[in-house]
Structure 1
Amino acid sequence: MSEIPVHPRPRRLSDWINPMEARKVHSLIDKVYQRKNLEVAWERVRANRGSGGVDGISVADFAEQADQHLDRLQAELRARTYQPQPVRQVSIPKVGKPGEFRNLGIPSIYDRVCQQALLNRLEPIFEPVFDDANFGYRRGRSTHDALRKIWKEIESGKEWIVDADLKDFFGSVDHDKLLSLVAQRIADGRVLGRMALT
């Protein structure tokens, strides 16, 4: 078995992208709305369950007419008429912090399927550039993996651990800057337009 060379991982997406070497991904939207991709996206949303959005449609309700919903979503994405619904806002108590709440935005099941279909196509493009020390919101990485990484760092002589909870992190992300970074790799304006909406 041949050994795969290991290269140092870049710290930032902009470090990874060499304009002379990296080719942009074109014509991605047609892969997003492929029926098989929408079906895989729906199965992931169904497996995650969760409550419905502002339209009141639950996962079970969506499942009863999944084929029709997927047909409609595919047609809307193809015709560029898809518009996400407003996000349902809820507040949940913060664990271990009595009297404090975390605000959550809950998209409709329909919009979650669209978001998952986008993720299915974007994740393989961007996952290789993410830092190995980042475990949050990444498929195949868990809290237990993060703990193993921490223990490995401690065993190697590291003495400091920082535990931080950034207030309103997702609400404070500069979406224009984020989309400009994504645009360095994705040339399909139809995908970028969908991302700006969701």
Structure 2
Amino acid sequence: MSRNTINRRVYDWKTIPWQKLERVVFKLQKRIYRAAQEGNRQKVRKLQGLLNRSWSAKMIAVRQVSQQNQGKKTAGVDGVKALTPKQRQELVSQLRVTKKVKAKPTRRVWIPKPGGDEKRPLGIPTMHDRALQGLVKQALEPEWEAYMEANSYGFRSGRGCHDAIEAIFNSIKTKPKWVLDADIAKCFDRISHSALLDKLNKYMDKINFTHSLALVSISGACRPWLCAIIFV
């Protein structure tokens, strides 16, 4: 057995060594990042497929959507909003990134926008589809981190508004510069989703991975992250 492999049969949900699983996934993500930097697309695809089949990555994806995310108790069209440890294990075994994947419809709800009476639509995928999105995102994110600019901060893992403020401060402290503050109204609702997926396909081969991405990534876990690659 590889030293980067964990015997899944040894643990029940309450005794999972999450740090070990996270290390396994992180090592794979680092390899994807390096391969993308080197322009080795074939290696990137191979490693992404390996990560999408990884038990560790599937466990982490299910844990995020069922225990950690803010909307963990929000149900999709199937009405499922809470999982027992046994059900989480079953969901892990059901996650597959293949051409046979077919996402269920999202449950549409309207939530108020801050500072006014206007409401915006929110599509809520099922627990299964949210977990699948999280799994796909784990494989895509390190590749696109290699393509993104160092001064891009929106919707990126490990970055936030305070990092952007610090970068702006360091940039303007030597001499005055222009700062453009723009808000794209209903950005993700109005942008062409097909054009966005076409942009992804410039870097992706026509394989199962791409097909599954098109089915599951337009809402939920991948939605904010996809906004970050619009301007790449």
1:149 aligned onto 2:172: no
SS of 2:91's partner is: helix
1:179 aligns to 2:197 (yes or no): yes
Aligned residues: 175
Residue in 1 that maps onto 2:26: none
Q: Secondary structure at the match of 2:110?
A: strand
Report the alpha carbon displacement of residue 30 of structure 1 after superposing the two structures with TM.
4.6
Are the aligned partners of 1:53 and 1:107 in contact in 2 as well (CA < 8 Å)?
yes
Following superposition, the deviation at residue 188 of structure 1 comes to 5.3
1:85 counterpart = 2:104: yes
Amino acid at match of 2:108: Q
Per-residue deviation, 1:153: 2.7
Partner of 2:95: 73
- Aligned to 1:61, what secondary structure does the other structure show? coil
Give the counterpart letter for 2:118 in structure 1: E
Q: What is the aligned counterpart of 1:53 among 57, 63, 76?
A: 76
What one-letter code is carried by the residue in structure 1 that aligns with 2:40? Answer: R
Deviation, 1:183, is 2.4
Instruction: Name 2:58's counterpart in structure 1.
Output: 38
Question: How far, CA to CA, are the matches of 1:87 and 1:163 in structure 2?
Answer: 33
1:120 alignment partner, one of 134, 138, 151:
138
Q: Amino acid of the residue matched to residue 198 of structure 2?
A: S
- Determine if the alignment matches structure 1 residue 164 to structure 2 residue 182: yes
Is the CA contact 2:76–2:125 (under 8 Å) kept in the aligned structure 1?
yes
Specify the code of the residue in structure 2 equivalent to 1:67: Q
Shift of 1:127: 0.6
The 8 Å contact of residues 29 and 190 in structure 1, kept in 2 or not, is answered as: no
Q: Deviations along 1:63-108, whole A, 9 cap, x unmatched?
A: 551011111223xx35x32211111222222212x11222222222
Unaligned runs of 5+ in 2: 1-35, 217-232
CA gap 1:114/1:156 in 2 versus in 1, 3 angstroms:
farther
Q: Which has the higher contact order (CA 8 A, sep 6+)?
A: 1
Equivalent position of 1:106 in the other structure: 124
**Aligned residue identity for 2:45:** H
CA distance in 2, matches of 1:157, 1:146: 18
CA RMSD of aligned residues (A): 2.4
The letter of the residue matching 1:104 is L
Deviation at 1:170, TM superposition (A): 1.1
TM value normalised by structure 2: 0.66
Q: Which amino acid aligns with 2:112?
A: P
Using the alignment, how far apart are the partners of 2:183 and 2:77 within structure 1?
28
TM-score by length of 1: 0.76
Is contact 2:105–2:125 with CA below 8 Å preserved after alignment? Answer: yes
